[in-house]
Structure 1
């Protein structure tokens, strides 16, 4: 009996040491997970997205395995932020929705607010303002429920911006008036709210008030680069002066925007504004130059988007490889643990076998029972191995499915990019023809035009720039390459359509306005409308079904 007590004390001591070391290991693991997340966030701000995604993926795997929901939320949410910065909004939305589920099930309301705001911003970027309003409103309601004044003000401002975008100006003003006093503790947010109010005044045609507010903020704001505040204020000033026919001043403000190094999307908006200003000033040559600048900027933007799409796919491919390496490391670690446990079990069995030879029958009976329990543990380990193998197989299947989805997304992106190029070319032809026609109309009103050979030659030159059949042939060739299925279905279902009908339908399918189509075909808007009705009748469509909606179904 003394020997049994002695061994029992040793067993309890060993268990106590195991418990202490286990707690230390747990604490070390969770700190390591937090460090991975922080390093991943730092890499994201440094725009090293591959490294950031690798670190955050490793942290996410560790957190998911140990059910650390806060760390799992932070890792998942910041993976979504990486894809947002890479302009891969679809992938970003998937991770944001996953982090939202984690926040709702396991975390405090403040985490739910964070991801709801991220989702709403994402929908705003995609111009889906209905969804953006829905998620901003959810975040706002949670902030109100938790009496978080700064967050209430911030989300109210975001709701006001969405209302501005959807031209619900009175509702937008109510949100801004609510947010402004709540954001006084945060000067940067307060400036954004005041700027949003100026934008609201501009939309409500209170041009003087919008101009005064923008000029004041431009003079008093210290950091004009924060959220491109300087660019937004100059744009408000330019637009307000344009609407008041202060065209020279509007042009000066628009030109100042270029000094602040705007992105290509902003450049396109500025070029369009300058084109409108010069067209209003009857400076048609400059207006044409700025329209050409729009086309050039949009082409550069498409090239950048193509590069980003390639970069996104490359990042996803590398992350998938990294996940595969993690899975292999986990499998190797699991095998090592199994070997360790097997060796440990063998040692224990041998020790107990020696004890069995030295003790009486009662002790032998107890030792046999212990051996049986150890055998059950071995069987459990084998079952765990089979489970691990099944999980590995599932991961391999998941990786193949992901590769297929990537290929599908790549093809989809290529089609969208080609359609954007076609739309840009069509709109360019429309704008060019419209401007040339307006110029010809202005010149034709001059009484001395018939006696001036120089003006007559200029008019003939302008007429030569109108769209030709050769340009249409080039356009339809590119359209057929991108939308072959649509044209085949159209010709099959409606064989009575001639080439001119198909040409007209192509422009409608690209969602061009009646004004743009009439300009490209060099006909009046009324003739364009009647032609649309004749084609609908020839296709035997009901008058209740819009032609564009029907074409979309093909």
Structure 2
């Protein structure tokens, strides 16, 4: 059963901002005209007489009214707690002061930089005082904060750091370690990392030994992780454990929850006769406790069972009820709505209404696209988190290996083990040096290629600019030549001037020089032209290369020793060879090559 009631029971172990938002309670910014409590100067006075191991817990309980104060009054009240913490030289309480400031801004502003900074200050203070256990605890609390606001990568990093510090401290020494494991499991469960969630839940069982709702919830959630990964037998084992413990505690809510989950597995296994009484009871209890979403889920299962018995009329009525509930619930019921349309399509098919059946199947497929899009985002997060976790675990395992090697010194084979350790270190160092050297070689090669590319770009730019300058000179020569042809009858002189004017023309030799520079910068451009347009002539290729360099018609005319009109006509011929449409530009085609 995945109802809001179950989520509250499961997530209830989170820090108060989690519960505050998950219950739909308004933040102070959302409360209009509500009377706020005033500054309380003696709120924390009695903490001085409280046992050291209970001060933080007591301070958190006393500070709850601060959430509804104005910012000035809240900070002033927490300042009083800071003075008490300093007077008592209580590091845990000093860290809690930062934590409570962060909590105030989180409740009132959601995700914000002030909360982030204060949570980090709590961690930094614990690290500065070299208290590994407090460091781990406050790393866990900032992880909860990031998880609440879907900052999943940051949350995963802090969860892993916290786990490492608390493990090295010794889990048995950490107060509330069972709750910490449960909260961490909720993070991975929410992201669909059921294997990761299950690992933390099983650790939580070790430290939540007393019969309680918390222990029932752990059994039940482990069952959900197995059910969600299609391991139905193990799921049933854990659901039965939850049901057994709920029976011992006479907890009617959890009895109904566990039975509903057992029934859900039976439905998945198509054991409909066994599922029917359990799912029916699940529905009754959901109605009793006004659990809208779960009412719909149970009713959809009942409709599925009715269809398996070919009771189309009953299934149709049950789907009508499910639709009414789904239409009024505020929870995310996308999966349930998909199932509703699929079952309704089956009802219409069995009622000889194939057109309606096809219509409802189409609706379900459209919703599946939306669900897939949402799941793809979650899948990307899981991949990123998996990489983060594996990287962190790899680093941690390397440290653990060194620690185990050191512990072998007490055995009689100390000499051999020390030798192996030395060899291992040498191999490790050699590999590290080799890796470092490979990285340096690769970096040097990349720098060399980058420098070559930049050099080629500069050379091509200089070459092109030089040609442009020559064009300007040649234009002057043309004007002067025309004047001299009228003023001077010396044919030899005018021919020499004409040869000077054409000295810059892109001859075959100059084209080869130009092509070498161009290819270094623009890679496979010329090759791609040949592959895509095999009928293109050498002259067309030169024109396309100049277009690639974004030269204007006058500059191209000068370089190709033709008129501007000649360039325009060459472009028109090129357009025909490239089979371009009227709305296509040569420049756009060239830039795609």
TM above 0.5, one fold? Answer: no
Q: Which has the higher contact order (CA 8 A, sep 6+)?
A: 2
Answer with 1 or 2: which has the greater Rg: 2
* Greater helix content: 1
